[in-house]
Amino acid sequence: MSQQHSAAQDPTPRTASAVATATRRRDWWRDAVIYQVYPRSFADSDGDGMGDLEGVRTRLPYLRDLGVDAVWLSPFYASPQADAGYDVADYRAVDPMFGTLLDADALIRDAHELGLRIIVDLVPNHSSDQHEWFKRALAEGPGSPCRDRYHFRPGKGENGELPPNDWESIFGGPAWTRVEDGEWYLHLFAPEQPDFNWEHPAVGDEFRSILRFWLDMGVDGFRIDVAHGLVKAEGLPDLGDHDQLKLLGNDVMPFFDQDGVHEIYRQWRRILDEYSGERIFVAEAWTPTVERTAHYVRPDELHQAFNFQYLSTHWDAGELRGVIDRTLDAMRPVGAPSTWVLSNHDVTRHTTRFANPAGLGTQIRLPGDRELGLKRARAATLLMLALPGSAYVYQGEELGLPDVTDLPDEVRQDPAYFRGAGQDGFRDGCRVPIPWTRTGPSYGFGDGGSWLPQPEGWGELSVEAQTGVPGSTLELYRTALSVRRDQPDLGAGDTVEWLRAPEGVLAFRRGEFVCVANTTGESVTVPVHGRVLLSSGEVTEADGEAKVPGDTTVWWTTG
């Protein structure tokens, strides 16, 4: 007997009672599936080629029917867009390219009516160089109060011509820029993104006010950008003779993962707990180990932290089991849910990463086998959604979108690309606007083209082309999220029971649910574990045994 996932032909929207139940559900964040929207690339309502908040609002029913619990919006604040909005000039204003505060209010209200929660990005490590504070700091000169809100320092050398220390920007080159009066300011990212000095009380006061502003608007939480970077080591010491980029995420550094950040988040948590509705904080915290990541989600700090160790793991059963065990073991003592993620706006899409036989690294962009990448990506998705805790989905991955690897140089906007060192500067490839229809000037993204060019054939991966098509990646996601929501043994929890399996295969039980993931390229035979709920490829059963193809994941239930 052949078994394959049966796609929902026309997903049924949640009823009003289901929406109300989802909105009231306690500890919703422990097993939530959170969908990341990159607003400039999601949907364009006014035909200017740039996605906007009204475009997101009109597509909320699609996200409800997909089956996610919450929507995380990348920055839409007023910004010169030197780093796609992660350079914020005004934290209480919407950039005109995305709309207005009224648009943000309408989006939040509509989402709540549909049973969706809204999480917004918060960027507290740095501002834009066009932020009023920084402009005043430049104008008022050395020793002024506004300079103390950033990291201004005299340079080294006979005439101060050398940077104050040897720190390098994440985007490549020195982490310091000299201003006309001779002082230097710190920017761990682009020069247009000066780092705040969190030792100055005005900075903390300002961000506590910003939190309250958006909480009063009704947002359900914040994703904290560079949550590990706010506090710098006293004296800003040199790093010495190291390849700093190789240390990122692999070691504690004088500008990342300093213990002082935790008192900031304790203060923030007290503010959040004043509001009803179980609002949450999610940390983007690159740390050397999952054990240090767990520090950010202690009971009086943040609620979730991204699991970058899992995202960076190869498609290999041994490596995956290791990071799964370490993650669950690290989160269990602090009572926080584990999180699982495969793609986001900063890394090569996993469909493209998995297209290479070696299976990965977050930035691998070598030519690969598109079908292999998609097959592995589908299997990896079912594995991720079967694990205890919360999962994140990056827009377009439910369509099986690959990275766009052949963008012309003249259209690129990633600041790392122009720095000439550091990151490879190819983040634009995962940010190309997603396709909604088979045809049209931008495959349904909007009426006026798209800010990054979409490749030919993009329409065949569109929502329209995949909806109701058995075996399509979109229907796999819709069905998986529906099954996940309905199965009592899926979602929240902190343990898995590992089962015996052939080499290269992961098998585990959670109550009456069993997941088997074959990470090899060859078919394997395993015991039948009850009734097949879902599979990413065709599974054949006979005489109590199941033949699972290579790069395939299967869900069973014994109930």
Neighbours of 14 (CB within 10 A): 18
Q: Known catalytic residue: 274?
A: yes
Count other Cβ atoms within 10 Å, centred on residue 165: 20
Q: Which of 181, 216, 243, 274 is catalytic?
A: 274
What is the three-class DSSP state of 342? coil
> Which tokens hold the place of 268?
């923030």
Residue 503 · residue 522 · CB < 8 Å: no
Cα 329 → chain centroid: 22
DSSP notation for 480-494: HHHHHHH-TTSSS-S
Q: How far apart are CA 499 and CA 526, in angstroms?
A: 11
| Apex 103 CA angle, 100 and 106, nearest 5 | 155
CA distances from 98 to 263, 274, 451 (A): 34, 30, 13
Least Cα distance to 237 among 317, 327, 167, 326 occurs for 167
| Alpha-carbon span 101 to 78, nearest angstrom | 11
The catalytic residue among 95, 103, 129, 225 is: 225
In degrees and rounded to multiples of 5, residue 167 shows phi and psi of -65, 145
Containing 533, the helix (H) or strand (E) segment is strand 531-535
Side chain identity, residue 265: Y
Residue 522 a catalytic site member: no
**In b/e form, how buried is each residue of 467-476, taking b as 16+ CB within 10 angstroms?**
beeeebbbbb
Catalytic sites, residue numbers: 225, 274
